[in-house]
Structure 1
Amino acid sequence: MAIVKSGWLHRQSTILRRWKKNWFDLWSNGRLVFYNDQQRRDMEDEIHMRVDCINIRNANACRDLTPPDGKSKDSLLQIVCRDGRVISICADSADDALAWSMALQDARVNTIWRECTTSSTLCSTDGLLGRWTAVCSCLHLSLSRALHFRC
């Protein structure tokens, strides 16, 4: 599995609403993981874009959100999750925010690929209904649109 995009972004904390710098990795299987540092020692949280995300808001669509000092409103993004969470992030520039938005949107709508642990064969979902197409001998399950698998 490969990293599609990674870098520093500001993330607004959920309780105090303070902006904090986090290292973000977007993986080819659609997982967005953020850490306290670039060495990836302390994971803050993880979102599976295809499963958890229902919308990505850009710039002015980020209602009632003020960017960190020195950043423009065009640098803002919000990831709206099925469980009601809204992850507010801010890039260093409008161009960087656009690049992140495109990568996140792509991860949200495209087919998910996972490599099986017992073979080198790839398995995939159809991308629409979350049903697994067995290309290998793994057992794949879809429960309440949450994707689970075991090899």
Structure 2
Amino acid sequence: MSIITPGIGLIFWTTLFFLIVVFILGKKVFPEIAKALREREDSIDKALNEAETARKDVAGLKADIDKMKQEARAERQEIIKEAEGQAKKIVVDAQEAAKSEGDRIIKEARESIEAEKRAAMAEVKDQVATLSLEIAEKVIRQKLEADEAQKQLVKELLAK
């Protein structure tokens, strides 16, 4: 037997040991490797499913966030419109109050002016009456004999 060509016994024993090793590996090691590969495959599938679920959840959350943003924008616009409406109402109310206050002040001023006018007219009438009485008194006191003298006295008194 040479080193390059193996003998039949060597082939037989090598094959026998190979088959025994393959049998032992097949009974003990390969099931464990297959089990580990199945577990690894299951964990990868589970991770992929969880990633897909997470992706869907993220997409749903993103849609919810977008919806909330739109609702917030709409609510903000509504609040702004309400504030503008209230501001306009306050301005209109203030204008109406100012106008009514101005009208009231003008009315009071007119009434005051009218009252002062009536008082002045009454005072003028009193003064005219007093002056007339004084003129009459002076005319009677002087007991003038001539008509012409009485007319002259009245003119002088009127001039005063």
Range class of TM-score, shorter chain: under 0.3
Larger radius of gyration: 2
TM-score (ref. length: structure 2)? 0.19
Instruction: Choose between structure 1 and 2: higher helix proportion.
Output: 2
TM-score (ref. length: structure 1)? 0.20
